[in-house]
Amino acid sequence: MRATRGFLSCFPFILALVWLPAMPVNAAQVPASSVEFPVWSRSWDGTLGSRQVKIMLNRIADGLSGSYCYQPCKAQTRSQLVLTGRMRGEGAELTERDSGHGADTTGIWHIESLQDGITGTWTSPNGKRTLPLALRQIHTQDDLTARFPYEIRLLADSLPGEEDDDCNTPPLVSAIRLYKDGTLFQTLETESEGTCSIFTPALVDANFDGWPDLSLALFLPAGPNIPQQTWLYDATTGRFADAPASLQAISSAEFDPVHRTVYSYWRASCCEHGVSTYRWKGSEVEEVETRSSYFLPLLDGATRRLCYIAPSYGDGFIEFASRVEQTADGRLRLRQIDPKTCDIDDGALLERMYIDIWKPDPRGQKPTLLRTEEIAWKPTQTPAGQRYCPEVPFFDSGHVRRMVFSENPGLCREEGSPQE
């Protein structure tokens, strides 16, 4: 298997922080050029009128955004009903829109309180119909927010703009401030700046000890590999400390507590994507495996095509969900590959072109790589004279067919490969 080490890809950062009421801030604690504002994310379920609903809201300063769905929520409708608005004292006012049917307002939420669940009313756009709201905050047994006793505020050089503002440079965040019982408990220095909106901290269990750690994206580079800063929680002191450099170096890290695996999707170029996995060894994180994308040649009738095959992570291991498999009788078959969706091969691309052949696991575990069919370089007579031209393996109706590319001498070499 050819694995090209890349850096790590972009993934959205979701704040999963417990909400506590806003509190006055001592002006002496904040530099004159800085402002401080709360951020949180919270979920509720309950009733809108007689219907069961689930709602998720994010707060940045006094701005609110989120969505809701009617239970049982489906993947395609989970974020279709969009909510935006502002805090109003201890409550809020939200505008509801159905993103699947244009941008027209479909309702107004008048929330009286967010402290002990959600109470208030939903009103139709014409004001003729109202329904009561009665929702409670969602906590699960393994919810990290239940073990996080702090209010989070960000220290920045300015307040975030309104939700509908143009995409301007967002504030530069210089610190995360943790408050407990109305008192500043700890300050975590950072330097984070998003693009159109600020990055907000995420609660994660980065070292799989069951306690909530903090992670914050720092900036958005030209590629989607976002660096982030992570702090680990010490349950003895209740304070956070910098994670080791081996973890900080992993951009867009994600955490699988079931398999105790750190993993990351990354992009090395426009046409190379990959996944890397890591595990904790003592107080450091060590790389376990890296897999990158490749191009699978196949014949669609008489048409030569190239299929872009990228790895994914799931159930504790990296796999290629789209792949060539070998059956028990020795035949080859395509899994999750539609030849018609693959690009026509113009013969110009040879890098990372091969066929991996896999044996599926009947229990749904990690498949076994049986062999790799790679390009070979064959002595061939071309219009430019004797050359070594690429012999490319193609998947062709259940078997591998090799074809020598001799029509374009520019693809050939004057000498064979080092293996010849």
> 73-96, pLDDT tens digit by residue?
988 788 899 999 999 999 999 999
Least Cα distance to 286 among 318, 247, 230, 257 occurs for 247
At 337-394, the pLDDT tens digits run 999 999 998 877 888 999 999 999 988 889 999 999 999 999 998 888 889 999 999 9
Instruction: Identify the band that residue 410 occupies on the pLDDT scale cut at 50, 70 and 90.
Output: confident
Instruction: Using the predicted structure, report yes or no on whether residue 280 has a pLDDT greater than 90.
Output: yes
Q: For residue 284, which amino acid is it?
A: E
Instruction: Determine if residue 260 is left, alpha or beta; phi over 0 gives left, psi from -120 to 50 gives alpha, anything else beta.
Output: left
Task: Kindly report the number of other CB atoms within 10 A of residue 408's CB atom.
Answer: 15
Instruction: Using the predicted structure, report yes or no on whether residue 25 has a pLDDT greater than 50.
Output: no
pLDDT score at 273: 94
pLDDT score at 77: 81
Higher per-residue confidence, 212 vs 8: 212
Q: Is 32 exposed, middle or buried (0-12, 13-18, 19+ CB in 10 A)?
A: exposed
Cβ atoms of 297 and 348 closer than 8 Å = no
Mean pLDDT, residues 191-195 taken together: 93
Q: Give pTM, 2 decimals.
A: 0.84
CA gap 398, 195 in Å, rounded:
48
Instruction: Identify the band that residue 141 occupies on the pLDDT scale cut at 50, 70 and 90.
Output: low
pLDDT score at 15: 34
pLDDT score at 100: 81
pLDDT score at 16: 35
Instruction: Using the predicted structure, report yes or no on whether residue 66 has a pLDDT greater than 70.
Output: yes
Instruction: Using the predicted structure, report yes or no on whether residue 24 has a pLDDT greater than 60.
Output: no
Higher per-residue confidence, 362 vs 293: 293
Instruction: Identify the band that residue 406 occupies on the pLDDT scale cut at 50, 70 and 90.
Output: confident
Least Cα distance to 17 among 249, 182, 177 occurs for 177
Residue with tokens 């000890």: 209
pLDDT score at 271: 86
Instruction: Identify the band that residue 257 occupies on the pLDDT scale cut at 50, 70 and 90.
Output: very high
pLDDT score at 9: 35
Instruction: Using the predicted structure, report yes or no on whether residue 19 has a pLDDT greater than 50.
Output: no
Instruction: Identify the band that residue 5 occupies on the pLDDT scale cut at 50, 70 and 90.
Output: very low
pLDDT score at 162: 66
Instruction: Identify the band that residue 171 occupies on the pLDDT scale cut at 50, 70 and 90.
Output: very high
Mean pLDDT, residues 151-164 taken together: 86
Cβ atoms of 127 and 142 closer than 8 Å = no
- What average pLDDT does the structure give for the chain? 88
Q: Which of 31-45, 63-77, 159-173, 356-370 has the lowest mean pLDDT?
A: 159-173
Cβ atoms of 403 and 392 closer than 8 Å = yes
3-class SS of residue 277: strand
